[in-house]
Structure 1
């Protein structure tokens, strides 16, 4: 069996982020689909699994452990499990990004 979650069924947050957890559908990944305005940032946090970001448009600055790096449209960023990280839209345009969690449920520890 397979599942299709239609756009009309997806409930975006007030900032426009769609959250998907795969476990209820038999999936082993979860994700945030974001389209963030300039200046939007996440707080420092970590997960007990890896996280992968795919940037479709915009520019983001990632803090990963003690390092800071910029990523642009077309880049893929991967952070290992239990690594403190955050990111911010540092560009002048909206940041269109998919944040893929290697887990059927999103687990996050804010730091």
Structure 2
């Protein structure tokens, strides 16, 4: 039988972000359901698999490879395997976004920030 997780059964960060790693349950996908205020987001990093970002509300500035783009509700941003990427929530609304990792476990290599 599959797994059903009810609200509150998976831990959230103090800011409200939910983290799920599917490999523990036989699923080859992991994700963050991000809930972030303005100014928050991860530093530059890579994954050995692709990552897809689906924005539900709010706005973010993404850096993917050498490109920088602003995205809002309904937009989808893709970082290919090994491609450096990061983002920051722009506000004023909270950023509500799904960050989908094409792997059962999240594997992240943090990169030095450019000065």
**Do they superpose with TM above 0.5?**
yes
Rounded Cα–Cα distance in structure 1 between residues aligned with 2:26 and 2:110: 27
Rounded Cα–Cα distance in structure 2 between residues aligned with 1:94 and 1:31: 18
Superposition pairs of residues 29-108 of structure 1, within 5 angstroms: 29-108=29-108
What stretches of structure 2 of length at least 5 have no aligned partner?
none
Rounded Cα–Cα distance in structure 1 between residues aligned with 2:8 and 2:85: 31
Moved over 2 A (4+): none
TM-score, normalising length: structure 2? 0.93
- Name the Cα RMSD after superposition: 0.8
SS of aligned partner of 1:23 = helix
Cα deviation, 1:52-92, whole Å, max 9, x if unaligned, reads: 01100011100011110011101111110000000010121
SS of aligned partner of 2:62 = strand
TM-score, normalising length: structure 1? 0.96
Rounded Cα–Cα distance in structure 2 between residues aligned with 1:78 and 1:6: 28
